[in-house]
A and B are shown apart, each in its own frame.
Chain A
């Protein structure tokens, strides 16, 4: 066993290139590929959909490779460089990202190399897209509007995810995290080549920007190669909104909606009044783990294994919104029993009616999960970015230590804050 395995690994070394522009580099010698992620941070809001068109249009062609086909041919020449975009949300923030992965030079046959060409390719994608008369092509924008409209309309195809989002929207009608990261079809209607080009220029120059790089490349060389990604950054960085205050539940509401489904989806929204930075945040992570984060959790062992009510049941705690969700896929006739049983498990956590062993298993499982992140540059970049965006501490070792120190008293104390806000049921149509 190497020392790395027992001691843990270094995280990103970060520096602020200019106000709002951050470069995070991590030397990674264990893998065969380098990984790069560039992210721009905005506020979630009614303009989400238009912003989603920016990375889509960037990936339609560059000045040197001015079509989708030529762009993809270039990625194949670059040893199968994979490039893609991602649209995410973290609390009330909207994250637009481009990611790339390509082989380490040392792994390529003969004297081949790809590092410099790959970075230059990504720089061109961001800064020199294929423009006609200084704008994205009419056809490109038109096409990407159609594609994104389909993505928005297609969200309903994934019924579980749809149920989760509907529950969120109903639970938080006035809170900024209610907006889906894909945005709305109505917002897309105002898309024009001029507007999307303007939004692109604004985003790459003024939105807070993070670049995460992980690869077997000397830090100095990597820094010099990556700095051009920050070209044209403005001194005036967009100010993001203040964190929206957490609300507590008023009275429990219930909503049932009917769909063409075989299986009912029961989603409970709960308020925890606990977010990153709260002294009891780690206790809430453990409380969620005891309740429904792992296979040894109360929900899995009772609702699935003992009562045979479902195949899938779990709870999820979001430290940036102070919300907790519990989801179960059930037979609609079992909905009252499943709800009762789920809430009994919540009560068990609140009353500390779980064994010391379950607590220890939860701390162990959390620790193991956090250590495993370090084997994946993509997961590590995601953890680092989300931490920075939401105000969570970026130090994994510190988080592990604080979770290890969580006590049963701490779990019980923080669990008193959990309040049921909304019960959402997606039921089969024939049950209506």
Chain B
């Protein structure tokens, strides 16, 4: 098998980075980013199968629903090989393997200083060699059960999960990525095998390497590895998306835990109307600049809240985007959630009435470029940005150009129909 079409170059001169992307005959997207002088090499093999992918159809057939937590369960079980656990081979090369499941995908990765190609070989092979037995699937339920309980004891995780269930009425983003002990109880080797067959087809996957390796040698090795195994025809899976209705599911969710003081997250959701590519990324950037202008540490609101003792350094804001939905979240650890809510609501309205200070936008733009320069030092970050962008069908290197296009009018316009009190949901973890 060989390559389909021409290579695609993604690059930006300010960031000084360049990613070469090709489509392999197997259907896989293969990409490479060279980092001269780095001792570490990082590679990942990612499938666009995450926790939100809970319903699908094959060949126009019936809708198939998946139990919560199956993508994450599959991530655990892929490391189990017929002879030995996959991570042992990485250890022989001194490499560090890992994997994680997100809303949009599942990523298998390793980092190493030597033996890059044997590690790459092993990465592709183990992800393409499932070994599910009744015994090993049952055994994994005990391990994942402990992982679920570990997260149950993390107040920061609970307050976040509760906010999502407060924000979303139907969307599977509000479901726990790990599932629950109840939902994983019914997972069988047959189900895992079928999910692997459907979602781990190369046409649904990205193989990416970042590090100081030769570009041609990498693509040759990738082509050889992806040609070794016949993964069958593209299953032509049709994902069934859940349409989210406007407005929050609940105004407030409150949970008691053994914590020293309340933790609060306040969120507003977004439903995108057919946005994709550059427009989606633009919306993300405008939202992030907006949040920084209102809630950032250089703003009047932050200083006011800090001086009143209503927040500490843990207070922050972020925007998270997904293909069809997104949300802004602010919050942290607070002594008086009600007082915080009141001051925050007033602060948003004040900015909505007066408009954003244009000098704030310019400072945020400079700051964002500095942040991007820092972020692109990290191999993991480059991989994360690249894979995330491919799952969203955006170009990660357009971010600098988009930043220069965004002005105060964009921010003010965005604010007019957003961060409204009626659309807010609030999650609290309180001492008890």
Q: Which residues of A contact B (CB under 8 A)?
A: 1-2, 4-5, 8-9, 29-33, 67-69, 72-73, 75-82, 101-104, 107, 109, 139, 143, 146-147, 150-151, 153-160, 259-263, 294-296, 301, 304-305, 308-312, 329-331, 357, 360-361, 364-365, 367-369, 371-372, 374-375
Return the 6 tightest CB-CB contacts between A and B, nearest first.
A80-B370, A364-B94, A368-B94, A80-B367, A79-B370, A260-B258
| B14 CB to nearest chain A CB (Å) | 6
- Is A263's CB under 8 angstroms from B150's CB? yes
- Is B97's CB under 8 angstroms from A80's CB? no
Instruction: Say if the beta carbon of B153 comes within 8 Å of chain A.
Output: yes
B149, B370, B373, most chain A CB atoms within 10 A: B370
Which one of B136-144, B234-242, B385-393, B420-428 is at the interface? Answer: B136-144
- Is A156's CB under 8 angstroms from B303's CB? no
A366 to B39, CA, bound (A): 15
22 pairs, A vs B, C-beta closer than 8 Å: A30-B35, A32-B374, A68-B303, A69-B302, A75-B367, A76-B298, A79-B366, A80-B366, A80-B370, A80-B374, A82-B374, A150-B312, A153-B261, A159-B153, A263-B146, A305-B143, A308-B140, A308-B142, A311-B144, A329-B150, A331-B149, A367-B113
- Is A76's CB under 8 angstroms from B260's CB? no
A357 to B87, CA, bound (A): 14
Asked whether A157 and B143 contact (CB < 8 A) given A30-B38, A150-B260, A294-B91, the answer is no
Chain B residues closer than 8 Å to A331, beta-carbon distance = 145-146, 149
Closest to A28 in B: B37
Instruction: Say if the beta carbon of B106 comes within 8 Å of chain A.
Output: no
Contact of B214 among A1, A330, A360, A369 (CB under 8 A): A1
- Is B97's CB under 8 angstroms from A295's CB? yes
Chain B residues closer than 8 Å to A8, beta-carbon distance = 39
Tally chain B residues at the interface, Cβ within 8 Å.
72
Asked whether A102 and B370 contact (CB < 8 A) given A139-B307, A368-B113, the answer is yes
Contact of A5 among B37, B260, B307 (CB under 8 A): B37
Instruction: Say if the beta carbon of B111 comes within 8 Å of chain A.
Output: yes
- Is A32's CB under 8 angstroms from B16's CB? yes
Instruction: Say if the beta carbon of B129 comes within 8 Å of chain A.
Output: no
Asked whether A296 and B363 contact (CB < 8 A) given A32-B374, A262-B149, the answer is no
| A123 CB to nearest chain B CB (Å) | 20
B112, B113, B152, B259, most chain A CB atoms within 10 A: B113
Asked whether A367 and B371 contact (CB < 8 A) given A77-B366, A329-B149, the answer is no
- Is A9's CB under 8 angstroms from B373's CB? no
- Is B152's CB under 8 angstroms from A263's CB? yes
Chain A residues closer than 8 Å to B100, beta-carbon distance = none
As a 0/1 sequence over residues 252 to 287 of chain B, the CB contacts with chain A under 8 angstroms (1 = contact) are 000001111100000000000000000000000000
Task: Contacts A69-B302, A311-B144 known; list 5 others, CB within 8 Å.
Answer: A5-B38, A80-B368, A160-B153, A263-B153, A310-B146
A364 to B94, CA, bound (A): 4
Chain A residues closer than 8 Å to B300, beta-carbon distance = 69
Asked whether A372 and B39 contact (CB < 8 A) given A80-B370, A150-B333, A259-B258, the answer is yes
| B313 CB to nearest chain A CB (Å) | 7
As a 0/1 sequence over residues 275 to 319 of chain B, the CB contacts with chain A under 8 angstroms (1 = contact) are 000000000000000000000111110110011010011000000
Closest to A70 in B: B298
Contact of A364 among B38, B93, B371, B377 (CB under 8 A): B93
Chain A residues closer than 8 Å to B91, beta-carbon distance = 294-296, 361, 364-365
Instruction: Say if the beta carbon of B213 comes within 8 Å of chain A.
Output: yes
| A8 CB to nearest chain B CB (Å) | 7
A364 to B214, CA, bound (A): 24
Instruction: Say if the beta carbon of B96 comes within 8 Å of chain A.
Output: yes
Instruction: Say if the beta carbon of B376 comes within 8 Å of chain A.
Output: yes
As a 0/1 sequence over residues 114 to 152 of chain B, the CB contacts with chain A under 8 angstroms (1 = contact) are 100000000000000000000000011011111101101
Chain B residues closer than 8 Å to A77, beta-carbon distance = 363, 366
Instruction: Say if the beta carbon of B251 comes within 8 Å of chain A.
Output: no
Closest to B87 in A: A295
- Is A30's CB under 8 angstroms from B374's CB? no
A33, A301, A372, most chain B CB atoms within 10 A: A372
Q: Which of B340-382 contact A (CB under 8 A)?
A: 363-364, 366-371, 373-374, 376-377
Asked whether A101 and B260 contact (CB < 8 A) given A30-B38, A77-B366, A329-B149, the answer is no
Chain A residues closer than 8 Å to B214, beta-carbon distance = 1
Asked whether A80 and B152 contact (CB < 8 A) given A143-B309, A364-B93, the answer is no
Instruction: Say if the beta carbon of B85 comes within 8 Å of chain A.
Output: yes
Instruction: Say if the beta carbon of B155 comes within 8 Å of chain A.
Output: yes
Asked whether A76 and B87 contact (CB < 8 A) given A1-B213, A311-B147, the answer is no
Q: Which of B307-340 contact A (CB under 8 A)?
A: 307, 309, 312-313, 333, 335
A8 to B145, CA, bound (A): 42
A377 to B257, CA, bound (A): 38
